[in-house]
Amino acid sequence: MKSGIVPLGMALGIMASFAFGANMASATDGVEDFVMAADGSRDCTHLVASGNPDYPPYLWISKDGHTLEGAATQFIKRVGELSGVDIRVVHSGSWGRVQQHMRDGTIDLIAGAFLTVPRLDYMDYFYPAFQGTRTVIWTRDNLDLNYRQWSDLVGVEGLTVINNSFGQNFDTYARENLTIREVPSLEQGLKMLALNRGEYLIYEEFPGKAFAAREHIQNIRSYPIPVSTENLYLTMSHQSACNTGALRGRIAKAVFKLVSEGVMSELLEAGIRDWGETTN
């Protein structure tokens, strides 16, 4: 079976009442946030970052609608402090739109991305990864797919968030063997799953749990065997006017120091607490 990932298209019209549109309307275009020097060139002591806005406890949209907060925001700000730059983390739209901004160079950095071969065409990765993640299969609690391996998903209709990646190996397998419809946001995907508009959803474990709890979706569950385990990296756009070897070196040293000190543990704890306070 080789059906690939099928765009959801017009079939999503019935879901238009969901919050996706409101989030998009509040996003900034990124480029207008650049700080310029007196001669009209970029002031590279000030960088603009963004990321997936539907990604608690790592990232979510602030109440002001223009910035992102969460554990990844705090991590990248600490990277900036250590490397001598001020990094603002803006809400620049959906995850797909954020990646397009990186291709265009209208933002400088992404605060958390998986490593895939296509993404190497437009952004640099900083090593080591700052966090590991688990991607799992979600279904309604009255459906048992008996999921053990990727081939168990063949012939079953799935959902995922548009422009998401779950690692190069799985992405390739899914494109060649699985039927997966793309939806604009995790919130919409979870609601569609709960309403029996798909048999399973592929997404990371903790963000899925966080959104399900906030939306009081109780008739879904995740499977213990992960689809993939991937690492989150800080990345920089090839098109950024500030992407120089000297700056990349300073940022890489800062990332290495913070990862070595294990700071993400405390940042994740704070992110979980802040997410709950923000959404309750």
Tell me the pLDDT tens digit for each residue of 173-197.
999 999 999 999 888 999 999 999 9
Answer yes or no: do 75 and 108 share one domain. yes
Task: Pick 185 or 15 by higher pLDDT.
Answer: 185
- d(CA 183, CA 161) in angstroms, rounded, equals 5
Answer yes or no: do 61 and 89 share one domain. yes
Residue 116: both structure tokens together: 């895939």
Tell me what the pLDDT averaged over the chain comes to: 87
Backbone angles phi, psi at 132, to 5 degrees: -100, 150
Answer yes or no: do 159 and 249 share one domain. no
Answer yes or no: do 107 and 158 share one domain. no
Counting DSSP H helices and E strands in the chain, the numbers are 8, 14
Answer yes or no: do 92 and 218 share one domain. no
Q: How many domains does the chain have?
A: 2
Cβ atoms < 10 Å from Cβ of 72: 29
In the predicted structure, residue 15 carries a pLDDT above the cut 60: no
Check residue 238 and report its DSSP letter.
T
Answer yes or no: do 260 and 202 share one domain. no
Answer yes or no: do 123 and 237 share one domain. yes
Answer yes or no: do 219 and 184 share one domain. yes
Report pLDDT for 32: 54
Report pLDDT for 168: 82
Least confident among 21-30, 57-66, 136-145, 172-181: 21-30
Q: pTM of the prediction? A: 0.74
Report pLDDT for 208: 87
**Domain membership of residue 265 as a residue range:** 20-131+232-279
- What value does the mean pLDDT take over residues 191-216? 89
Answer yes or no: do 275 and 160 share one domain. no
Q: How far apart are the first and last CA of the chain?
A: 44
With cut-offs at 50, 70 and 90, classify the pLDDT of residue 138: very high
Q: Indicate the residue among 191, 208, 229 that finishes a domain.
A: 229
- CATH number (domain holding residue 247): 3.40.190.10
pLDDT in tens, 104-133: 999 999 999 999 899 999 999 999 999 998
- d(CA 129, CA 225) in angstroms, rounded, equals 22
Q: What is the separation of C-alpha 123 from the centre of its chain, rounded to a whole number of angstroms?
A: 15
Each residue of 194-218: b (16+ CB within 10 Å) or e? Answer: beebbbbbbbbbbbbbbbbebeebe
Report pLDDT for 279: 59
